[in-house]
A and B are shown apart, each in its own frame.
Chain A
Amino acid sequence: MDVQYFIELFFSGLTRGSIYALIALGYTLVYGIIELINFAHGEIYMLGAFTALLVAGVLGIMGFPAGGILVVAALAAIIWSAAYGFTLEKVAYKPLRGAPRLSPLISAIGMSIFLQNYVLLAQTSEYLPFPRLLPDMEFLDYIDNIMGPSDFLILVCSMLAMVALTIFIRYTKMGKAMRATAQNRKMALLLGINADRIISLTFIVGSSLAALGGVLIASHMGQVNFSIGFLAGLKAFTAAVLGGIGSIPGAVVGGLVLGIAESFTTGYLSGNYEDALAFALLIFILIFRPDGILGKAKVQKV
């Protein structure tokens, strides 16, 4: 076995996996609080990538330096995605609190289709090239066969984002309120936590993470399209379920495992069934261990 090739595949899987993890966190946060599969989450990620592309394009034409553009574009993507996530919840999910469980799910699917076609109609159905904004990092030169600047950026940024999220959830008052709401919404309400605000906050945090993922992957792949959210969303959902939905470390572990598994399948077997692998994996986990790697089993009551 070729060690060099193995390491290459491992790192490309890690890069991919950290993007899945970023998106999966959004699924897991939302599911933890309102038990809804936010089907439109992949679309939020796509909107983030698109916003970044548009902002970067405008700034690029105006002649700003590349490094500055990347930061501004990423910030714009995060702000707008958060706003989209917030609006999404207010429009499509909030009126359905207390409705039968399938209603919000169908509404979420509707929203996902709506957002995809909104971008398709407002922009284009073609793949748009994402400008090259990453500076060359010289210290990466001696490992550049296993890790390019964008891989490095993805790993660093996603790690930072996950650490920040952990600190936010663990140590801030809002994070504490979020955990309380996830544990028991009624009790949290009784203790004076504004559950509506916490739910909005959850959507904002989840969407920002997805937007960050969107910007990173767009600069990595070099192109953006209205349909990228669907597959990425499904795979991230797979990752969330793999790690145990509702669990934050689970989402990260699930994302990385899925990314590495995909990378090895593509490298050693064939790239044709790369997407099918994720779905097959999803089906197997749901059937044999629906609570995931790090999840806890729940008893269903009437």
Chain B
Amino acid sequence: MMRPVSKALLASIWFMLLTFPVMGIKLNTVKQTVEWQFDRIILLGVAIFFLSLLWNWCFSRKGRGLPLIALPTGMGARLGRLCSLPLRDGRSRAVSLTVLLLVMLIMPLASSFYQTNIMILAMLYVMLALGLNIAVGIAGQLVLGYVAFYAVGAYAYALLNQFFGLGFWACLPVGGLLAVLFGLALGFPVLRLRGDYLAIVTLGFGEIVRLTLLNWTSLTGGSGGIKNIPGPSFFGKQLSIEGNTIFIYYLVLLAVILTIVVITRLKNSRVGLALQALREDEIACEAMGIDLARVKLSAFALSSCWAGFAGVIFAAKSTFINPASFTFMESAMILSMVVLGGMGSIVGVVIAALILILAPEYLRAFSDYRMLIFGAIMVVMMIFRPQGLVTGERRKYRISALKGEQA
């Protein structure tokens, strides 16, 4: 018992020393005074002490191969089984999905304008996270510039509308298609790259797109962005702002459902299986006769297409876009949703996206710390639960059944 405590004490002292300048000193350069904030350091030391105990405890459990959180017996276990029932049992899944759908359908009518707006944002991120999940989770290609495709979609609508007067419905497929083209444009040159190099190149690509949008002032309006983007027309009629929001809500809901259906079907399709083979081992995958170039390109194309759609909807929803909405931090946020939810898992990613968007909205105290927590989540998840909240299920073929037939 002594060892972990002394270790935690040591860690606490170490971190107090480590964070002393940044946490403890506050300069006022105008008045030429220094504020010493020893209270923050002490508080941090105490927090680190307990965190360190927790950290060691988690490692000892991980080392012994136990799950981090053991479900308690009796009531707790039954509750846990009840919660995971929709994941296992077909009928209760149908029931819970229907209930969920009904709640989602009624929501904009029953709640305020503000709530509806937040929900639209959350669902847009669900779409983005699911789209990124195709590349990162299913195909194992770490894409760090995903937000570039989102930007392409948004700017496609804004610019086509500004210069050619095209409406939302014409631009929705165009935005998706353009994003796919950008995805392929990125995909072609990086076919030979893998892993970390690929990640960096996609990051560079994302930044280039953002910088171009920022600096091509004559076309994009630079950092001023594009204003007065109209919402989608409803059978040829422009709606009021309120009506528009509710209409977009249903539109996004439909888009999310469509995304989920398509990706579920995709996962077990021929292409989807090839993508998963690519994730597991590139060389083995090639040896099995899978055309690497084609599979990689399809991963990029499939993934970027959702971002394009989401971008068009985003532009229509916010009526104003500028490059500041498409920074690397957005990409990182979407990536942390995929990581938290579980790479390759659809349910997990949806839940994670909803948590990560809605929690900072409703817990205001939490919202300052949101990026700090996103960063920490990525580290902690990788160390303790790399498979995410919900493990991505893969269809299994039981060989023993086949053997039984032969015998």
A residues apposed to B, CB below 8 Å: 36-37, 47, 50-51, 53-55, 57-58, 61, 76, 80, 83-84, 87, 91-92, 95-96, 99-107, 109-119, 121-123, 128-129, 230, 234, 237-238, 241, 272-273, 275-276, 279-280, 282-283, 286-287, 290, 300, 302
- Please tell me if the beta carbons of B18 and A84 are within 8 angstroms of each other in the complex: yes
Q: Mark B366-396, 1 if CB is under 8 A from A, else 0.
A: 0011011011111100110010000000000
User: Would you call B309 an interface residue if the criterion is a C-beta within 8 Å of the partner chain's C-beta atoms?
Assistant: no
Residues A129 and B368 in contact, CB atoms below 8 Å apart: no
8 Å CB contact of A109 from B15, B208, B332: B332
Interface positions of B from 24 to 80, Cβ below 8 Å from A: 25-27, 29, 32-34, 40, 59
Q: Closest CB-CB distance, B18 to chain A, in whole Å?
A: 5
Interface residues in B53-111 (C-beta closer than 8 Å to A) = 59
A-B contact pairs, 17 of them (CB 8 A): A57-B29, A76-B21, A84-B18, A99-B382, A106-B142, A107-B379, A109-B375, A109-B378, A110-B374, A121-B368, A241-B197, A272-B215, A275-B207, A279-B204, A279-B205, A290-B192, A302-B281
Q: A54-B21, A121-B369, A123-B26 are in contact. Are A276 and B379 (CB under 8 A)?
A: no
Closest 6 CB pairs of A and B: A110-B378, A114-B375, A113-B375, A279-B204, A117-B372, A110-B379
In the complex, whether B196 has a CB less than 8 A from a CB of chain A is: yes
| In the assembled complex, B10 has its CB within 8 A of some CB on chain A | no
Cα–Cα distance between A57 and B36 once the two chains are bound (Å): 13
Which A residues are in CB contact (< 8 Å) with B203? Answer: 234
Assembled-state Cα–Cα distance A237/B336 (Å): 22
Give the chain B neighbours of A61 by CB distance below 8 A.
32-34
When A102-B142, A110-B336 are in contact, do A96 and B193 touch as well, CB less than 8 Å?
no
Min Cβ gap A226→B in Å is 10
Q: A99-B386, A123-B22 are known contacts. Are A282 and B372 too (CB-CB below 8 A)?
A: no
B324 within 8 Å of A by Cβ? no
* Alpha-carbon distance between A41 and B192 when the two chains are bound, in angstroms: 26
Known A109-B335, A114-B372, A282-B200: A57·B27 in contact at CB below 8 Å? yes
Q: How far is the CA of A241 from the CA of B15 in the complex (A)?
A: 33
Asked whether B196 lies within 8 Å of A119 as measured between CB atoms, the reply is no
Q: Provide the bound-state CA to CA distance between A109 and B375, in Å.
A: 7
B190 contacts the other chain (Cβ, under 8 Å)?
Answer: yes
Residues of B within 8 A of A87 (CB): 14-15, 18
Tell me how far the C-beta of B315 lies from the nearest C-beta in chain A, rounded to whole angstroms: 23
Beyond A99-B386, A237-B200, A302-B281, is A58–B211 a contact (Cβ under 8 Å)?
no
A-B contact number at CB 8 A: 167
Chain A residues with CB under 8 Å of B208's CB are: 276, 279-280, 283
Most buried by B among A50, A117, A128: A117
B82 to chain A, nearest CB (A): 32
| B18 and A83 within 8 A (CB) | yes
Which chain B residues lie closer than 8 Å to A54 at the CB level?
21-22, 25, 27
Q: Which residues of A contact B375 (CB under 8 A)?
A: 109-117
Asked whether, in the complex, the Cβ of B22 is within 8 Å of the Cβ of A290, the reply is no
Mask, B318-353, CB within 8 Å of A = 1, is 000000000011001001100100000000000000
By secondary structure, the B interface counts as helix
Tell me whether B115 is interfacial, beta carbon within 8 Å: no
Which chain B residues border A107 with CB–CB below 8 Å?
378-379, 382-383
Chain A residues near B29 (CB-CB < 8 A): 57, 128-129
Residue numbers in B under 8 Å from A55 (CB-CB) = 21
Q: Does B156 contact A (CB under 8 A)?
A: no
Interface check B258, CB cutoff 8 A: no
Please give the distance in Å from B330's CB to the nearest CB on chain A: 12
Cα(A283)–Cα(B207), bound, Å:
12
Decide if B283 is an interface residue (CB 8 Å cutoff): yes
Docked pose: A280 CA to B186 CA in angstroms: 12
Given A61-B34, A283-B201, A302-B281, A275-B211 contact (CB < 8 Å) = yes
Contact A106 B378 (CB under 8 A): yes
Q: Report which residue of B33, B201, B371, B379 has the largest number of chain A beta carbons within 10 angstroms of its beta carbon.
A: B379
Complexed CA–CA distance, A71 and B215 (Å): 40
Interface contact A122-B23, CB-CB below 8 Å: yes
A261, B32: Cα distance in complex, Å: 40
Residue of A whose beta carbon sits closest to that of B374: A113
- Given A61-B33, A95-B383, A110-B382, verify A234-B204 contact (CB < 8 Å): yes
Instruction: Name the residue of chain A whose CB is nearest to the CB of B210.
Output: A276
Q: Is the CB of A102 within 8 A of B383?
A: no
Does the CB pair A273–B27 fall under 8 Å? no
Q: Counting CB contacts under 8 A, is B195 at the interface?
A: yes
A105-B196, A286-B201 given; A51·B371 CB < 8 A = no
